[in-house]
Amino acid sequence: MNRKLILTGLLICVVTLLSGCSEQQQLHQKLIVQGVSIDRNDEIYKVAVQALDFQNPMNEDEPSIKLMEVEGISVMEALDNISKQTSLRPVYSQNLVLILGEEAAKSGVSNFIDFFVRHCETRPKVQICVSKGNASEVIKIKSGEKFLKSKNIHDLVPIELNSDVLHFVSNLKNTKTDPWSAWLEVEDKNGIKSIHLKGVGIFKEDHLIDFLEGEEAFGFMILKGVPNFGSCTLNSEECGDVTCIIDKVVPKINAEVQNSEVLKFYINLDIIASTFSLDKNFYTHSFESISEVVEKKLSNKLGNICSDVINKTLKLGIDVFEFSKILRNTYPSYFKKIESEWNKILPNLEYKVSQDVKLKATGKEPV
């Protein structure tokens, strides 16, 4: 009897409370956010959101890409204003990229990053990028008639660069290190716009300080272990112009403290490069005879490039290469003593870059 009573009670509960899926939100009722850009103008945050719209699909297989521009006193307020433009509920769990405009990044990322750390739907592996000028230009760029997908923008940033919310916030939270992020730029050539991974934006605490481009960006990428970021062209009398591509780079930074006083960092770069073109008298060379020359020249050039970028960041008092963490891990008691003075020590750090370059000859042509 008791069992029947309990079962009846449970049945009533099930019937009244579990009313199937009628109240569930369907995919077409959601706005699947793929990319967000944040700009700041006159104390107002302007947010552009690129999202997948399943309500008005382009065709049977593909949802349309919807772009919405909202603004508010805070980023959270701006994002909340999405509901004024659409009845769809924004879902952030599929967000791939967060692009920060120059002004927003310069005014301090801490003012708005919390949403991307705290919100239950956001994920820490969202790529974070900066852009000179307005970030919305990057997210609004079109490929033909359609918007360029956030996935394509996301794929421009090398994974090895660790330009994501996880590393950004981690370096921000550690008071001695500073964050960095990929720099994406829109280039307009004869009215055709395209996006490029131009370099890196470096921050002092949560403020964007400078952009690294060209050789500086190349050096930064090498020091972060990012291969295939552009190429390096060498010139010598022996072999003319040689263009090398960095296939693999393993940077190792070690700290050394002598007599509890002298502090020096040793940066070793293990590099494997390849070359596809020896542009002068290519038919007269054997690879063995010139590889040593090229390796030496490449090694010197990369050493100089890396030293230049380290010098630049140190002069700015920025620790993007995590020297403080390395010192803390190797000499904890020494670091504890100098921890409070780190910001004064940083610009005068001594370091030595050494590189071990191995050149691969690739291609079908016999050399």
Partner 1 sequence: MEKRPCISVGQMFAMLFVSRMVVTMTYGTLLIGDSDIWDHLISAGISFILTFLLVLPIYKLFKMDNKMNVFDNLRDLMGKYGYIFILIYVVYYLVVTLHTLTIFDNFISNAINPPISISLLSIFLLLSSCYGAYKGLEALSRTSTFIIVATVCSLIFLSISLFSSIETINFKPLMYNGYESVAEGTLYMISQSSCIVAMGLLLPMACGSKLRGIIIWNIGVYLSFALVIMLVVGTMGDFADTQLFPVYTAASIGKFGSFRHLDSLYLGIWICGIFLKTSLFLLLASEGVKKIWGEKIRRRFILGFSVILSISTFFIGNFSLLRGTFITEFLFFFLIFNVVIIPLVLIFLKKRKLSKEEKIFES
- Determine contact, residues 127/155, Cβ cutoff 8 Å: no
Q: Could you tell me the smallest distance in angstroms from the CB atom of residue 120 to partner 1? A: 4
Site for partner 1 in 176-235 (CB under 8 A): none
Residue with smaller CB distance to partner 1, 281 or 329: 329
Q: Could you tell me the smallest distance in angstroms from the CB atom of residue 329 to partner 1? A: 6
Binding mask 20-59 for partner 1 (x = CB under 8 A): -----x----------------------------------
Among 64, 81, 152, 174, binds partner 1 (CB under 8 A): 174
Residue 141 in contact with partner 1, rule: CB under 8 A: no
Residue with smaller CB distance to partner 1, 169 or 239: 169
Burial of 78 (0-12, 13-18, 19+ CB in 10 A): buried
Residue with smaller CB distance to partner 1, 211 or 335: 335
Residue with smaller CB distance to partner 1, 35 or 199: 35
Helix (H/G/I), strand (E/B), else coil: 270? strand
- State the DSSP code for 301: H
Residue 123 in contact with partner 1, rule: CB under 8 A: yes
* Total chain residues near partner 1 (CB under 8 A): 26
Residue with smaller CB distance to partner 1, 121 or 279: 121
Tokens (6 digits) for 252: 């190792």
- For the chain, the 3-state helix, strand and coil shares in percent, each to the nearest 5, are 35, 35, 30
Among 57, 133, 214, 332, binds partner 1 (CB under 8 A): 332
- State the DSSP code for 131: E
Question: CA–CA separation, 151 vs 149, rounded Å?
Answer: 5
Residue 110 in contact with partner 1, rule: CB under 8 A: no
The piece of 123-131, 148-156, 203-211, 303-311 that touches partner 1 (CB under 8 A) is 123-131
Question: CA–CA separation, 209 vs 226, rounded Å?
Answer: 22
- Determine contact, residues 188/91, Cβ cutoff 8 Å: no
Site for partner 1 in 80-99 (CB under 8 A): 93
Residue with smaller CB distance to partner 1, 301 or 328: 328
Among 74, 81, 152, 170, binds partner 1 (CB under 8 A): 170
Burial 230-248 (b: 16+ CB within 10 A, else e): eebebeeeebbebebbbee
Residue 257 in contact with partner 1, rule: CB under 8 A: no
Residue 117 in contact with partner 1, rule: CB under 8 A: yes
Question: CA–CA separation, 308 vs 305, rounded Å?
Answer: 5
Question: CA–CA separation, 319 vs 367, rounded Å?
Answer: 44
137 sits in which H/E element: helix 136-139
Among 50, 136, 171, 299, binds partner 1 (CB under 8 A): 171
Helix (H/G/I), strand (E/B), else coil: 282? coil
Q: Could you tell me the smallest distance in angstroms from the CB atom of residue 277 to partner 1? A: 34
Residue 120 in contact with partner 1, rule: CB under 8 A: yes
- State the DSSP code for 261: T
Q: Which residues contact 87 (CB under 8 A, 6 or more apart)?
A: 29
* Residue 325, φ and ψ in degrees, nearest 5: -65, -40
- Determine contact, residues 355/302, Cβ cutoff 8 Å: yes
Among 88, 104, 169, 359, binds partner 1 (CB under 8 A): 169
Question: CA–CA separation, 262 vs 4, rounded Å?
Answer: 82
The piece of 40-48, 195-203, 261-269, 318-326 that touches partner 1 (CB under 8 A) is 318-326
Site for partner 1, rule CB under 8 A: 10, 13, 17, 25, 93, 117-118, 120-121, 123-125, 166-167, 169-171, 173-174, 322, 325-326, 328-329, 332, 336
